[in-house]
């Protein structure tokens, strides 16, 4: 349960940041009747937690979440860290991405989503030649183990690849 509450707090913080940054829709200049407001509201749907990035304002380190990779985040994150080399055009990558978004990363494991096409530097550093590769890294970014999850893209396979 603790992992779910943490993810909810992170998503709420991201939404607040977007609103403060001016990413919310602008209110209409024309007043609207309650009937027109009700008709224009979208139907409620189940929220899906996006891959998120920690903010510099966070007091506690974030672990047990799935987030987008950014430079410096490995050294700033305690605990078990996994790089997931993801390509948007890869159906296996999308399957694992969807499972991580829906179920979240396992407690104590932080999974960083790395863009396979854009981060050639990281692919070279860790010897990654196929998308759906996961690389467990240490506190200084050193490679601990890796596996290609193309044939079985699942959280269970990701955990089985641990050193």
In whole angstroms, give the CA distance from residue 134 to residue 43: 37
pLDDT digits (tens, 9 = 90+) for 63-100: 579 999 999 999 999 999 999 999 999 999 999 999 99
Q: Tell me which of 61 and 30 has the higher pLDDT.
A: 61
The answer to whether the beta carbons of residues 88 and 111 sit under 8 Å apart is no
The CATH number of the domain holding residue 76 is: 3.40.30.10
Q: Provide the 3-class DSSP secondary structure of residue 54.
A: coil
Domain containing 142 equals 2-160
How many structural domains is the chain composed of?
1
pTM: 0.63
């Amino acid at each position: 349960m603790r992992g779910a509450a943490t993810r909810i707090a992170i998503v709420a913080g991201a939404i607040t940041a977007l609103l403060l940054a001016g990413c919310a829709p602008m209110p209409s200049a024309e007043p609207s009747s309650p009937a027109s407001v009700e008709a224009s509201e979208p139907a409620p749907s189940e929220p899906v937690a996006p891959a998120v990035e920690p903010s510099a304002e966070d007091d506690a380190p974030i672990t047990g979440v799935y987030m987008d990779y950014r430079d410096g985040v490995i050294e700033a994150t305690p605990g078990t860290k996994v790089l997931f080399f993801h390509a948007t055009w890869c159906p296996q990558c999308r399957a694992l991405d969807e499972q991580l978004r829906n179920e979240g990363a396992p407690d104590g494991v932080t999974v960083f989503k790395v863009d396979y096409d854009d981060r050639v530097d990281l692919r070279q550093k860790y010897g990654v030649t196929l998308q759906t590769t996961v690389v467990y890294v240490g506190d200084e970014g050193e490679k601990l183990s890796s596996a290609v999850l193309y044939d079985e893209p699942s959280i269970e396979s990701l955990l089985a690849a641990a050193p």
